[in-house]
Amino acid sequence: MQFAAAPNKLGKQTILYSNPPQVVSFAAIVGDVEGQGRFGQEFDLVLEDDLWGEDSWEKAECKMFQQAVQTAAQKAELELTQIDFLLGGDLLNQIISSNFAARQLGLPFLGLYGACSTMAESLLLGSMIVSAWNASCVACVTGSHFSAAERQYRYPLEYGNQRTPTSQRTVTGSGATILADGGCNATNIFVTHGTVGRVVDLGITDLNNMGAAMAPGAADTIVSHLKDTERTAEDYDLIVTGDLGTYGAELCRQLCKEKGYDISKVHMDCGDRIFLPQQDPHAGGSGCGCSAVVLNGVLYKKMLEGTYNRILFLATGALMNPDISLQGESIPGIAHAVVLERRGQ
Amino acid sequence: MQFAAAPNKLGKQTILYSNPPQVVSFAAIVGDVEGQGRFGQEFDLVLEDDLWGEDSWEKAECKMFQQAVQTAAQKAELELTQIDFLLGGDLLNQIISSNFAARQLGLPFLGLYGACSTMAESLLLGSMIVSAWNASCVACVTGSHFSAAERQYRYPLEYGNQRTPTSQRTVTGSGATILADGGCNATNIFVTHGTVGRVVDLGITDLNNMGAAMAPGAADTIVSHLKDTERTAEDYDLIVTGDLGTYGAELCRQLCKEKGYDISKVHMDCGDRIFLPQQDPHAGGSGCGCSAVVLNGVLYKKMLEGTYNRILFLATGALMNPDISLQGESIPGIAHAVVLERRGQ
């Protein structure tokens, strides 16, 4: 059987939004440690501690997730009922932060799981829904919590386990972007393309080296995006990856270079930047929240100020399950990407 | 801020596919117990045991997932490379069945998490992508595995734990549907509408009563769908829910009736039907695989034969996380729906 080519698809993995959605509003909430980091002044809310009045870290994560959506809506003076669909996911099993927040918000909800690639995955699918005019307005959201993630994926914090040099600190934070039909004149930032990632595995088995597990997926998506769109790295003011951390970011640049694309002049990794060296973050930040809070706390503002006109934003996920790792499986990675473009003044 | 109404949205939760995608192919694989059940003769493959030559249940689940996509492609004489995007998810933490299968298949992959609602969620989003012409062809897939699910969500099977009357048996099986642009003349089954569910919680806390946890979400989506489309239950030859089981199905019909919609004449629940009484399944089947194998093994065929012309297909998910349950939280549910319609001869 033969199919006609899809008019809005470029190459093998990239979607061109024929009616590019507009960024209507954005919000970022972070924990206390992130508030003391490099971008501490930029976030809408910095929590005083990581429980935020709740009786567990998991419940605090749910509350951040919900609050990020509400804050983004409030900033644009939107009622929650004006949001057609909520798209999101998180790192906790059964994406409970997202599901419990969706229960409180009462919005039609599409749950996603892409590990730390969720911010880009939600923007990619959200843009598709708005662009196809199945919705006027969608909210895309994700988040993570250091203590909840350590408990679930590695060791309970109470063990006082020693961290390895390649380990990263899961960001406590949540970020939300509200997208709407391009005619609404909210900001001048548009989502023009999305590139859907593939699951790529180079055989990493170290639970404390997520950067290396994610770098091949990130490089694969960057190279595919540039091929699909027939663009070069220089067509972007910034190519930003989610949470590869110091070593993963270096590995990603190297893998891109081996495939003929030198991104080193325009590449920035959120995980590599979010904490300050004196905070001793080892290889940097990680988690769904890492790229989510940098995008929603820092990058959109820099676009509005005119610092960047065109960004390739990638969120990068390590698909790590402790049980299957104990069965000898390696940890694959995936990265999704969207192009954010400032148009006009 | 005001937005223009989205032309392809009906009411609050329903999407009308302006260019309805066509079902190109479908496949269902099940375990040995399911093969002895009511629909045992209908499936493409019945496994002899639940390990299928692998050394763990989790790996067997990954293999089923991958094989379901490959079988569906082979049945329509499609190359895997003709599939633009793969959409799917499963019940295992970090949706590892899906992720590991996506790694083997090498396709651009969008990971979803909607617990047992995944078959409908993937069809809903997959239809959106095809309908918006961002892709010519997508594969939608999910699956589950009894032994892997029991180990993760309840007790290791080796404990020989006694099951309660409301407990259901997670279906071992995987189902895949390939959708493509409506002009490809593959079958005469089209996806015409999708209804995005909300997370609904009536306060169930019993890990062995998933039917009751899911029924309110299922009823909410059915009622919203009928309101949004201004249809009645009689406009459908069949309203099929995923895996509410005996008690959940009864509760769902009751909740719909209380809201003024009597679905009892056209309602069927996959979980209630998949096993035979002599198999002692207690309240029936459950899991992502339950509705996936009934849809892909039985229902499409009955549509092609002309038994049904229009089906409202719902997959129903219980958003159950054992850790947050121990923290006192209840188990919310969600259900997504798609309309399947046979057109012409």
Three-class SS of residue B170?
Answer: strand
Chain B: closest CA distance from residue A278 (Å): 33
Average confidence (pLDDT) over A31-49: 97
> What is the rounded CA–CA span in Å between residue A49 and residue A58?
14
Whether the Cβ atoms of residue A33 and residue B158 lie closer than 8 Å to each other: no
Residue A264 has pLDDT above 70, yes or no: yes
Determine the residue of chain B that is closest to A78 in CA distance: B1
User: How many A/B residue pairs have CB atoms within 8 Å?
Assistant: 218
Chain A: closest CA distance from residue B215 (Å): 15
Determine the residue of chain A that is closest to B224 in CA distance: A108
Estimate to the nearest angstrom the gap between the alpha carbon of B287 and the chain centroid. Answer: 8
A77 vs B133: CB contact, 8 Å cut-off? Answer: no
The sign of the torsion formed by the CA atoms of B148, B149, B155, B161 equals negative
Chain B: closest CA distance from residue A75 (Å): 11
A196 vs B99: CB contact, 8 Å cut-off? Answer: no
* Residue B161 DSSP code: P
* Residue A265 DSSP code: T
Per residue in B195-219, pLDDT (tens digit) is 999 999 999 998 889 999 999 999 9
Chain B: closest CA distance from residue A215 (Å): 15
- φ, ψ for residue A136, nearest 5 deg: -90, -30
Q: Give the residue ranges of chain B where pLDDT is below 50.
A: none
Tokens of B191: 């996806």
Average confidence (pLDDT) over A119-137: 96
pLDDT at B161: 87
A136 vs B3: CB contact, 8 Å cut-off? Answer: yes
Determine the residue of chain B that is closest to A102 in CA distance: B199
Q: Please list every residue in chain B whose beta carbon sits closer than 8 Å to the beta carbon of residue A10.
A: none
> What is the rounded CA–CA span in Å between residue A91 and residue A118?
9
A196 vs B108: CB contact, 8 Å cut-off? Answer: yes
Q: Please list every residue in chain A whose beta carbon sits closer than 8 Å to the beta carbon of residue B58.
A: 323-324, 327
pLDDT at A60: 97
> What is the rounded CA–CA span in Å between residue A297 and residue B144?
39
> What is the rounded CA–CA span in Å between residue B313 and residue B336?
8
Place of tokens 């239950």: B233
Determine the residue of chain B that is closest to A195 in CA distance: B108
Whether the Cβ atoms of residue A314 and residue A263 lie closer than 8 Å to each other: no
Q: How far is CA A216 from CA A46, A219, A248, A277, A319, in A?
A: 33, 5, 9, 26, 13
B103 vs A201: CB contact, 8 Å cut-off? Answer: yes
Tokens of A150: 């350590």
> What is the rounded CA–CA span in Å between residue A140 and residue A127?
9
Give the mutation candidate from A1, A141, A314 for the B interface (greatest B CB count, under 10 A): A1
Chain B: closest CA distance from residue A252 (Å): 19
B77 vs A181: CB contact, 8 Å cut-off? Answer: no
CB atoms within 10 A of CB A267: 23
Tokens of B232: 């009645």
Chain B: closest CA distance from residue A323 (Å): 9
Q: Please list every residue in chain B whose beta carbon sits closer than 8 Å to the beta carbon of residue A125.
A: 110, 125
pLDDT at B5: 87
How long a stretch of residues is chain B? 345
B111 vs A128: CB contact, 8 Å cut-off? Answer: no
Helices (H) and strands (E) in chain B, counts: 11, 15
Tokens of A10: 């470029």
Residue A345 has pLDDT above 80, yes or no: no
Chain B: closest CA distance from residue A56 (Å): 8
CB atoms within 10 A of CB A205: 11
Estimate to the nearest angstrom the gap between the alpha carbon of B235 and the chain centroid. Answer: 21
Whether the Cβ atoms of residue A164 and residue A191 lie closer than 8 Å to each other: no
How would you write A126-174 as a 3-class SS string? Answer: HHHHHHCCCCCEEEEEEEECHHHHHHHHCCCHHHCCCCCCCCCEECCEE
pLDDT at B345: 58
Q: Please list every residue in chain B whose beta carbon sits closer than 8 Å to the beta carbon of residue A128.
A: 128-129, 132, 134
A125 vs B108: CB contact, 8 Å cut-off? Answer: no
Place of tokens 């159950």: B320
By Cβ distance, the residue of B100, B125, B135 closest to A125 is B125
Determine the residue of chain A that is closest to B2 in CA distance: A184
Residue A183 has pLDDT above 80, yes or no: no
What's the pTM value of the predicted model, to 2 decimals? 0.98
Place of tokens 């993760």: B152
Please determine, for the modelled complex, whether the ipTM score is greater than 0.85. yes
Whether the Cβ atoms of residue A85 and residue A110 lie closer than 8 Å to each other: yes
Per residue in A109-122, pLDDT (tens digit) is 999 999 999 999 99
> What is the rounded CA–CA span in Å between residue A95 and residue A103?
12
Q: Is A345 exposed, middle or buried (0-12, 13-18, 19+ CB in 10 A)?
A: exposed
* Residue B200 DSSP code: B
pLDDT at A322: 86
